Structure 1
């Protein structure tokens, strides 16, 4: 099955093969958001792990460092896109998951940051943090904080 963005590449020869090989890393750009991580050991994130992190089921990185999860407000367009595209659920369903965590005493929901600028500052200043912002916002953010999602 060809990726949905395969039609973007109408090149012949080696250049086309190279572009198709790197195309999966462009998914976040196509979805209009990008993942930010302040954890040097996490070179990429498995899609399933990302779901577990945002469902607050995975609380530590493989290194043992705690994961600090940040999110945008529920009605923010990037939050809605991230939840639907990456977590494959509706935002209301995710809110219910977080509410059950709180009411059962088993945990806390991700920390809400008001703006994407606040998200960048929070993730970059918090070791072990994870968050997401508009792809347009990543200009100027060091590549060390940007992560690919492996499916």
Structure 2
């Protein structure tokens, strides 16, 4: 019994450290109604604007980022390689512009603060009062 409980506690602690979670973030002045479907459509290039009509600027992390892999699989429901291939096809056919790739949560926050229409995602531990968190369920 102790072994089972110990295994459960170890697994819970280990998984919470490896997958800390992500938060979709926008500029604090972005007043658009944003839900899960809109986030998914924007990050897949199927929608180019927020509900207020402003064109969205998509920011993402590098493909080798664990946070990016988690986001792509959880929100976009695709593997990161498939997301990149999808975007390459959109760019090649002239139907989209590749999202800007950032190397850190801090860079993501800085770019969002510079552009009222930017949308991205950061680790939940990096969330601060500079950005507005979009609640998606």
Instruction: Identify the TM-score tier after normalising by the shorter chain.
Output: 0.7 to 0.9
Residue of structure 1 equivalent to 2:70: 81
- After superposition, residues 1-151 of structure 1 pair within 5 angstroms as 32-38=21-27, 40-43=30-33, 45-138=34-127, 140-142=128-130, 145-150=132-137
Q: Does the aligned pair in 2 maintain the 1:31–1:81 contact within 8 Å?
A: no
* RMSD of Structure 2 on Structure 1 (CA): 1.7
Segments of structure 2 that go 5 or more residues without pairing to the other structure are 1-18
Deviations 1:22-71 (A, max 9, x none): xxxxxxxx86111101252225x221211110111111112111101000
Provide TM-score, normalisation by structure 2.
Answer: 0.79
Q: Does the aligned pair in 2 maintain the 1:124–1:145 contact within 8 Å?
A: no
List, as ranges, runs of 4+ consecutive aligned residues in structure 1 with deviation greater than 6 Å.
none
Residue of structure 2 equivalent to 1:20: none
Residues paired across the two proteins, number? 118
CA distance in 1: counterparts of 2:90 and 2:113, whole angstroms: 26
CA distance in 2: counterparts of 1:146 and 1:108, whole angstroms: 24
Segments of structure 1 that go 5 or more residues without pairing to the other structure are 1-29
Change (3 A) 1:136 1:70: same
Q: Does the aligned pair in 2 maintain the 1:49–1:58 contact within 8 Å?
A: yes
